[in-house]
Structure formats: C-alpha cells, structure tokens
Structure 1
C-alpha cells in the first residue's frame, strides 16, 4: 500500500507542480510586460518592477492553484490510465473507496495549503505590494480614493447617553499607521460636537493584536475643534455666528477607540485580500454599528469554504482514472474536464455577486457551487465505477 501511495502521490504532485509553475511563469511574464511601461517614472527601476511581479504572485497563486490542481490531476490520472498503470493497481486491489481516500488525502493537504496562503501570505503580499507601489507615486502611503475610507462606532458617555463617532482615514502608510485622519463626534440628538483632524495616526491595540477589543490612536499634528454649550465657554472659546467654538492645536493627542488596527486595516484592504479572521472581525464591527455587512459576510464564507474547492477539483479529476484510454478521444475528454473546472471557478465568482444582488444567505451563496460540483463529480465517479 505504501508503494501505491508513493506512486499516486508522486505522480500527482509532479504534474500539479509543473502546471502551477507554468501558470506562475505565464502570469509573471504578463505582469512584467505591463510593469515595463512605468520604468523611469518617479525612480521606478527594473528591480522594482520585478519585486512588484513577485508580490503579485501571491494573489495569482491563490486564484489559480485549484485550476492547476485540477489540470495536473487530470493529466496525471489520465496518463496512468493510458499506460494501464491504474488498471494494474485496480487489479492489485486498489478499490474505488481506497482510491478516493488516497486522493482525498491530497485534497486535504491542498486545502491546508490554501488556508495558509489565503490567511497569511496573500494579505502580507498585498500589503507589501501596496506599500511598494506607494513609494513610486506622488503621494505618501496607499491612497484610499477621493473620500478615503469611513468607519463608525458608538460610545457611551457617562450621563449623556450614546454618542456616534465617524472616522475618516485618507491613506494607509503602513501596518497600523494611517494618514489624513478625521474624527467626527455626534451627540444623542445627532449634533456635531467635536471634530479632530490629524496628519497621521498610529493605532496601538490594547492587548494582543488579533484578540484586541479596543485601541489607542496616537494622533500627530492635531486640530481639535469642539462645539460648546454656553455654560462651558472658556478662555479659548470664540464666537462663530450663533456657535461657540473652542479650537486647540496639540502636537500629539491620544484617543481611545473600539476600532482596532485589525478593523481599520480591514476597511482599507479589498475584501478579496483579507484574511478570514480580519473578515470576521470586520463583519462583527459593521453589524454592531448597524452598517451593511453582506458583501464582507459573503467574502468571509467564500474564504471559509474556499479550501473545499481543492476537494472538488480532486474529485473532478478522479473519474479520469477510470476512463478507457484505448477507446479514443482522450484529449477531448481531458479538455472537457478542464473546461468543467474553469466553469466551476466562474460560477463560484458569479454566485457571490448574485447573492449580493438578490440578498441570499451569505453562507449559501458561498457554498452552493462547491457543494453542487462536489456532488456532480462524485456522481460521475460512481457511474464510471459501476457501469464502465
């Protein structure tokens, strides 16, 4: 049994590795050609272009590895069927259940690899890519668009009820450091009572970064404006029409908040590049503050179920080991299997958009394509074993 396991594993891993390497080389070349047009702009050199392509490989690998697993699996198993190796293994006692279990082990290992890549390597590479590109632009840090990104929280003020606080972040300079920060505080009646503007902010988590429930924002070069009631007027207050305003300009101001660095970083990054934990924490934050969270909930469930895609791809490849290679049209069958896998990837992406459009349950929109194709592949496998 160890010999059979080594033969199947080595054949599968070799073919999947070659297909993955071919896809990576192809996309590296495409990215490199695209980056060449920026050479010489703002000190952008050939070495910088290569590093940009290297950072892009993380997201490419995460998207393409399931397809590479399918194509490599089909090539490996079809070759074993064509050379009668798989037939000899079946004659030697390799039953359908044992073959499915062996490939299931490979599927589990591939799923674990996707968990590691999707939750650690892809977020890291996307962050490094954004910071790397920001060095060669006219602005400091990762620009978040004309309006920046907006966050919201509710805070209980002793004796005054709950105040709504809205935070605007204009750019992300690095992990936990943000630029062009504006904080607006509204009282229970919705009136603006305070505005804090800072050139940059360093967000420090209270406790462990992954489990923190609060943070301290170290604001630099601050303009702190307060709208005061008549009885609170002090020496620095000025009369602006019918409003009484007090404005100070401290070099540094510490502001405590429930917005942790993980939540802020999650709001800055596209949902596709966030880790599962960051997506979960951000959806909890949005739900707590009565904000629309379905887009991030769907992406959370997609990333949760994404390792199941590897199991689906392995299951789609297994029936090709039971095809009769001498019956002809093997290349056509392999092409059909590849197109089936590509169709799965397309439907998996379309399902999330349809779920967002029609307000489906997030877990259902994310899991339906994987479950449907897994059942389809297992049905084809049972049919081939029984009737062919």
Structure 2
C-alpha cells in the first residue's frame, strides 16, 4: 500500500502543481495588463512599471488561495481518469486498493491541501495583499472605498463615537479623518475634522491639523440657547480601541483578511451595536473554505471507476471542471442570499460544501459500490 500511495500522491501533486502554475500565470498576465493603466499617471516619481510588477507578484498568494481547491479538483480528476483509461487503476484495484481504502488515501492527501490552503489564506495572502495595497496607496494616492470612505463606531464610557476615514495612504497613516461624538442621549456633542492621522503605539490616534467644533446646548424653562465653539489644533490625541486592522478591514475586502482579524472586528461591531452579518459570513467562509479541498478529492474519485474510450477523457475532465466551477458559483450565491435573508452565517458558509459532499458521496456509492 505504501508504494500505491506514493504513486498516487506523486501523480496528483505533479498534476495539481502543473494546473496551478498554469492558472497563476494566466491571472498574473491579466492582473499585470490591468495594472498597466495606472503606470505613469501620478507623476515621474509615482506609480511605475516596477511597482506594478511588484504589486501583481504580491497578488499571487491571494489567487493561489482562491484557485487551490479547483486546481486540486482538476489535477485529481485528470490523474484518476488517466489511470482508468490506461487500465492502471484496474491493476491497482487487484493489488488491494479497494474503494474505501482509495477514499481514505485521497482524503489524507486532501487534508494536506486543507492545511496548505488555510496557511496561505490566513497568513501569506493577507500579508502580501496588505503589502500590495500599501504600495498602491503610497504611489497612487491612497486606499479608499466608495465616496464616503470607511465608517467605524465605538462606545466609550457614557459617550459614543463615529469615525470616518477617507483613505489609507501608507503604513499606519490615514487621510481625511472625521470623528463625531455623541452623548448618552444620542445628541451630537462635537465634531472633529483632521487632515491626516496616524496610529500611535498605545492604540490611540494622533491627528494633525484638527478643526474641532463643540456644540453647547442649554435647555431650561427660562431659556433655550445653543452655541458652537470652534478651535484649531496642530495635533490631537484621540484614545480609541479602533486598530489598524479594523480600519483595513473596513476599507479592504473582508475576504482578504485573516480569520483572527475578522473575528476581532466582528466582536468590535457587536460590542458597538452594529450589524456584522456580512463579516460573520466571510468569517465562516474562511473557516470552511479550506475544507472544500476534501470535497474536491471526493468528487474526483468516481472518475477512476468510469470506462473511457480513446479520447473520451477530455469530456469527463471538462465535466469535472464545470462541476467545480458550479461549486464556487453556488458558494458565492449562498453568501449573497444569506446576507440578504439573514441566514445563520455558519449555515450559509457550510451549505455549499455539505451539498456537494453529499452529491460526491452519492456518485461514489452509485459508481463504485453498486456498479
């Protein structure tokens, strides 16, 4: 069995590596062509060809994380179908590779891909994507979202704050910061507008060129007066627990963040009475997404028990690829529907994998056990 296992693992790893390399090269080319439109638009010392090449290179881990399950499916299907076409799998079956042992062997390899996918998606991809975004922010003028920037809320003692950040312009630097302060009755107490801000080492924000407007109201039976006091400050220190990761999460796509960063941001949203449905779905998708590699290898195993004619392997491999693409389409559709219908986040993220696992096991049982 050790020899059979080594044969299967070697063939699958080579096939998966070849398919992955092909997909990454294709995405690298598309990304590079897309980045060329920004080259030279921000002046001589701005975004240059070398920066575009570096940004596209740093985007490779994110694409690898997204593509790995489907390349596992394509590579495994190709190997299983080729072994079946050449009757090598029939020889392996007569050598003691029964259906359940074959399933166990592929699941063990699938677990290795699960660990690899989790490591890339939770450590390598977030770091490289953040580095790419910081390069673009430095040479293109900042990371922003929409026309209003990112909004974050925080409760402190008997007051609450709403912070708005227009853009990130570098490592730990913000641009266009507005902070609204409300009292316990929900009335606006003050408004601060800062030209820029930085994250201090103690967790506070250091704001520069601050214009502060304080609203004073006095409501008694005799008088009803209100006044506005405006002050300008060169710097201002605002104590807060809103970290760099939270601002990055609000400005960047949540699926680009690490699982722990998403979890902390969800806790922050819940603690401040904000809806976290979208981020909870993304959190559970990042938890269950690596497990889709197991679904892919189970989906590929029945192809080893099909009977192929000469040249018929291409049709079956294409069918398997379409099945894999439909899995990812269903995964995205469930995410949007779950967000709109307020489904349980873990159920929304786990449902596509569960459905395809049942279909894969049903195909395995019908093709292998009954035939």
TM-score, L = length of structure 2: 0.91
Q: 1:37 to 1:250 in 2, by over 3 A?
A: closer
Q: Deviations over 1:148-199 (max 9, x none)?
A: 111111121xxxxx21211111111234332221111111222222222222
Aligned position for 1:209: none
| Alignment CA distance shift 1:302-1:183 (3 Å) | same
Matches within 5 A, 1:169-188: 169-188=165-184
Aligned partner of 2:221 in structure 1 is none
3-state DSSP of counterpart to 1:40: coil
2:239 counterpart of 1:256: yes
Alignment of 1:353 onto 2:336: yes
Q: Identify which range, 30-39 or 68-77, moves more after superposition.
A: 30-39
Do the aligned partners of 1:179 and 1:199 also contact (CA within 8 Å) in 2? Answer: yes
What is the distance in 1 between the residues matched to 2:189 and 2:33?
53
Distance 1:39 1:356, change over 3 A: same
How far apart are 1:25 and its partner, in Å? 0.9
Paired residues of 1:205 and 1:261 also in contact (CA < 8 A): no
Given the superposition, is the C-alpha separation of residues 184 and 135 from structure 1 closer, same or farther in structure 2, using an over 3 Å criterion?
Answer: same
SS of the equivalent of 2:148 reads: coil
Q: Mind listing any 5+ residue stretches in structure 2 that lack a counterpart?
A: 219-223
The whole-number CA distance in structure 2 between the counterparts of 1:38 and 1:327 is 49
Deviation at 1:38, TM superposition (A): 3.7
Using a 3 Å threshold, how does the CA distance of structure 1 residues 244 and 36 change in structure 2: closer, same or farther? closer
What is the aligned partner in structure 2 of residue 35 from structure 1? 35
CA distance in 2, matches of 1:330, 1:21: 22
Shift of 1:10: 0.6
Give the whole-Å Cα distance in 1 for the aligned partners of 2:173 and 2:40: 29
Q: Which residue of the partner structure matches residue 237 of structure 1?
A: none
Instruction: State how far apart, in whole Å, the 2-side matches of 1:198 and 1:253 are.
Output: 9
Q: How does 1:1-388 map to 2 (within 5 A)?
A: 1-42=1-42, 43=44, 44-137=47-140, 139=141, 141-156=142-157, 162-204=158-200, 206=202, 215-228=203-216, 242-326=225-309, 329-388=312-371
Q: 1:197 to 1:300 in 2, by over 3 A?
A: same
Partner of 2:59, secondary structure, is helix
With normalisation by structure 1, the TM-score equals: 0.87
Range with bigger deviation, 178-187 or 13-22: 178-187
CA distance in 1, matches of 2:135, 2:248: 17
SS in 1 for 2:233: coil
CA RMSD across the alignment: 2.1
Cα contact 2:178–2:192 (8 A) shared by 1: yes
Query: Aligned partners of 1:22, 1:297: CA distance in 2, in Å?
Result: 33
Cα shift at 1:111: 1.0
Distance 1:45 1:197 in 2: 33
Runs (5+) with no aligned partner, structure 1: 157-161, 207-214, 231-240
Q: Do the aligned residues in 1 keep the contact of 2:137 with 2:170 (CA within 8 Å)?
A: no
Change (3 A) 1:50 1:284: same
Deviation at 1:99, TM superposition (A): 1.3
Aligned residues: 363
Tell me the distance in 2 between the aligned counterparts of 1:217 and 1:97. 58
Give 1:287 deviation, angstroms: 1.7
For the Cα contact (< 8 Å) 2:217–2:225, is it kept in 1? no
After superposition, the Cα gap between the structure-2 partners of 1:21 and 1:45, relative to the gap in structure 1 and judged at 3 Å, is: same
